[in-house]
Structure 1
């Protein structure tokens, strides 16, 4: 069975999330064809402790032994290490990408009830040019004013 590797590295604004998201925009569509990285940006914390967190969520078709050197070459700023990664089979990665624990039985995928308790309004936009640091900082300011908000960035390429 084909093995895949996943990672989910979280960085806050204080840990340099803006620079990492900016860099990701320029490289995400040029990464190795076996590597997919999306970024999930959301506000976390509350009150004066509120910040923005960028989660670099990845799926790689192959083992950690290939993934880490590939990431060190293409996106070293993220600082990926082997201990950040989890190897699993392909079907377990479907659990991972959908918010389940990989130890859960596969039958949870057949459950038609949502695991999310809240409903949300969503809007999809296709960004044709990378968002500048200043633009991202403006987005983060709006994030911090909201109670709960998130933005998923998928690399569709050009």
Structure 2
């Protein structure tokens, strides 16, 4: 790799790629507290309609809101033996809970987010939280982390 070409990346098919010859890093100030929530909805709780709505608003929400969704299936607890889909809304907001609730009520009221679903914490605590580490875990654990970090 010469100094004129930093990386080549693939995408869009086997014969296409792009060259990265430079990049800029923009550092942002993160407030003392961020607000996070994990909310799960099933098919029985209108997950299909929520996913449909999410795909239309996810790119239009406040720039300080990371609104992600993961899907998985399991056996339904309501109809024994049948499969159901879970929509797992995984979110971090750079700001306080009241501002988050206002944004969610404005853009995504169908989710039914309430204050008790939200937790304010430091940004580094949110990284631990989203990696399913118990509250109070020292951030030093990230120095020896072998798995990929979610956020």
Aligned to 2:34: 4
Partner of 1:55: 88
How far has the Cα of 1:77 moved from its partner? 0.2
Partner residue in 1 for 2:75: 45
The reply to whether residue 67 of structure 1 matches residue 95 of structure 2 is no
Structure 2 partner of 1:105 = 138
Output the CA distance in 1 between the equivalents of 2:88 and 2:60: 19
User: 1:129 matched to which residue of 2?
Assistant: none
TM-score calculated relative to the size of structure 2: 0.70
Q: What are the Cα deviations for residues 31-83 of structure 1, in whole angstroms up to 9, with x where unaligned?
A: 00000110010012377143110010000000101111110001000001110
**For 2:81, what is the secondary structure of its paired residue?**
helix
From 54, 59, 63, the equivalent of 1:29 is 59
**Which residue is 1:93 aligned to?**
126
Q: How many residues are treated as equivalent by the alignment? A: 115
How far residue 2 of structure 1 moved from its aligned partner, in angstroms, is 2.0
Q: Higher relative CO (CA 8 A, sep ≥ 6), structure 1 or 2?
A: 1
Tell me what 1:19 maps to.
49
CA distance in 1, matches of 2:95, 2:42: 28
Supply the RMSD in Å over aligned alpha carbons.
1.8
Single out whichever of 26-35 and 102-111 deviates more from structure 2: 102-111
Contact 1:64–1:82 (CA under 8 A) maintained in structure 2: yes
Residues 125-144 of structure 1 aligned to structure 2 (within 5 Å): none
TM-score normalised per structure 1: 0.67
- For structure 1, the 5+ residue unaligned runs are 116-158
Greater helix content:
1
Other-structure match for 1:123: none
User: Cα 1:70–1:99, aligned 2, differ >3 Å: closer, same or farther?
Assistant: same
Unaligned runs of 5+ in 2: 1-30
How far off is 1:109 after superposition?
A: 1.2
**1:108 Cα deviation after fit:** 1.9
Q: Does 1:76 align with 2:76?
A: no
